[in-house]
C-alpha cells in the first residue's frame, strides 16, 4: 500500500513539473485546474514588412519585455512565428495575466521600468521612418472554466496550432464554450492527444463573438493522426449530433494558424 501511494505521489509531482504523459495531463487538468480562478490572456499579432522588423520585435521580447513581464508577475510568455508564412511572417505573442487589473496596469509598469526601457530602446524608440512593426492587433481573452490555467508543454522541438471559432451571436458562442466545458469536448481532446495549451473566450478584440485555443504537437504527422483520432472518437460522434450543439447552429467560421516558437519563447 505504501509503495502504491509513493508511486501516485511521484506521478503527481511529475505532472506539476510539466513532464507528464497524456494520461497524467488529463488528470492534472481535471484535478487541479478546475479549482482555480480563470486567468486572462493577451494575444498580440504583429504585422511586419521585412526581416529587420521581425528581428526588432523578437529582440524586444527576448531582451526587454519577457524579463520585465516575468518580474511583474506574468509568467510563461509565448513568442511564435508562422510555420508557413505567406511573405513576411507575423509574430504572435501570448501573455498570461492573473487578473484584468494586472492587464490594465502592466503598460504603466513597463513604461516606468528603466531596465526594460533601456533594453528595449531600439523597439520602443524606433522612428516613424523605420518603425519596429507595421501594425499590432491585440485581443484579451478569459480562460475557460474547464481549463482556467495555461499549460506549458515540455521544451523541445514542436509545433502549435492556433484555432479561432467564430459564432453568429453571443448566445451561440456561449453554447460552443459550454460544449467544451460541460458536454465533454475538452475531455475528448485530452484523451486523443490534442494537447491544449490554453482555451479562451475573447472579451475584447476582433471578430467577436469567438473563442480561441492553442494545441501543441511534436510534428505535423502527430497533428494529423490525433485529429483523425478525435474525428473518429465515438463520444465525439455522439455529442456533435446533439440538437443544441450542431456546428451549423453555433459555429460560423473556423480559422487556424500553425506556429513555431522563437528561441526566447517560454512556451
CA 141/CA 200 separation, integer angstroms: 5
Domain boundary among 107, 122, 143: 143
Assess whether 156 and 183 both reside in one domain. yes
Mean pLDDT in residue range 161-180: 98
In this predicted structure, what is the pLDDT of residue 22? Answer: 44
Same domain for 114 and 183? no
- Out of 29-33, 116-120, 146-150, pick the least confident: 29-33
Any domain includes 24: no
At 236 the pLDDT is: 97
pLDDT confidence of residue 35: 61
**Domain-located, residue 33:** no
Q: Are 214 and 197 in contact (CB under 8 A)?
A: yes
CATH label of the domain that carries residue 219: 3.30.70.100
Segment 156-175 mean pLDDT? 97
Same domain for 192 and 96, yes or no, is no
Burial 52-89 (b: 16+ CB within 10 A, else e): ebbebbbbbbbbbbbbbbeeeebebbbbbbbeeeeebb
Phi (first) and psi of residue 232, to 5 degrees: -95, 0
Q: Is 217 left (phi over 0), alpha (psi -120 to 50) or beta?
A: beta
User: By mean pLDDT, which of 6-10, 125-129, 194-198, 239-243 is the weakest?
Assistant: 6-10
The boundaries of the domain holding residue 199 are 145-262
Instruction: Give me the mean pLDDT over the 127-155 stretch.
Output: 97
- pLDDT the model gives residue 170: 97
| In the predicted structure, residue 30 carries a pLDDT above the cut 80 | no
Residue 267 resides in a domain: no
Q: Report the greatest alpha carbon distance in the chain.
A: 71
Number of domains making up the chain: 2
Quick check: 261 pLDDT over 80?
yes
- Among 122, 143, 164, the domain boundary falls at 143
Q: Is residue 208 part of a domain?
A: yes
In this prediction, residue 36 has a pLDDT band, given cuts at 50, 70 and 90, of confident
203 and 238 co-located in one domain: yes
Q: Are residues 45 and 69 in the same domain?
A: yes
Count Cβ atoms within 10 A of the Cβ of residue 30 and give its class: 0-12 exposed, 13-18 middle, 19 or more buried.
Answer: middle
Residues 235 and 158 grouped into a single domain: yes
Per-residue pLDDT at 226: 98
Which of 143, 167, 187 represents a domain boundary (last residue)?
A: 143
Amino acid at each position: 500500500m505504501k509503495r502504491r501511494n509513493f508511486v501516485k505521489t511521484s506521478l503527481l509531482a511529475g505532472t506539476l513539473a510539466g513532464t507528464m504523459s497524456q494520461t497524467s495531463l488529463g488528470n492534472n487538468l481535471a484535478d487541479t485546474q478546475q479549482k482555480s480562478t480563470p486567468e486572462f490572456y493577451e494575444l498580440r499579432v504583429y504585422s511586419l514588412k521585412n526581416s529587420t522588423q521581425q528581428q526588432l520585435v523578437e529582440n524586444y521580447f527576448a531582451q526587454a519585455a519577457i524579463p520585465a513581464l516575468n518580474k511583474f508577475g506574468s509568467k510563461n510568455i509565448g513568442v511564435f512565428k508562422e510555420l508557413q508564412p505567406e511573405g513576411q511572417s507575423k509574430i504572435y505573442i501570448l501573455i498570461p495575466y492573473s487578473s484584468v487589473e494586472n492587464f490594465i496596469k502592466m503598460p504603466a509598469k513597463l513604461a516606468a521600468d528603466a531596465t526594460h526601457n533601456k533594453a528595449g530602446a531600439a523597439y520602443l524608440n524606433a522612428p516613424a521612418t523605420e518603425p519596429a512593426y507595421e501594425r499590432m492587433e491585440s485581443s484579451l481573452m478569459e480562460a475557460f472554466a474547464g481549463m482556467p490555467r495555461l499549460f506549458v508543454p515540455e521544451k523541445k522541438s514542436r509545433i502549435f496550432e492556433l484555432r479561432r471559432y467564430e459564432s453568429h451571436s453571443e448566445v451561440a458562442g456561449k453554447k460552443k464554450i459550454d460544449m467544451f466545458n460541460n458536454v465533454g469536448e475538452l475531455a475528448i481532446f485530452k484523451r486523443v492527444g490534442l494537447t491544449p495549451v490554453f482555451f479562451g473566450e475573447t472579451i475584447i478584440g476582433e471578430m467577436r463573438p469567438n473563442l480561441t485555443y492553442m494545441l501543441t504537437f511534436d510534428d505535423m504527422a502527430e497533428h494529423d493522426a490525433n485529429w483523425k483520432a478525435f474525428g473518429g472518437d465515438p463520444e465525439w460522434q455522439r455529442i456533435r449530433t446533439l440538437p443544441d450543439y450542431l456546428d451549423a447552429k453555433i459555429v460560423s467560421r473556423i480559422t487556424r494558424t500553425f506556429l513555431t516558437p522563437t528561441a526566447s519563447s517560454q512556451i
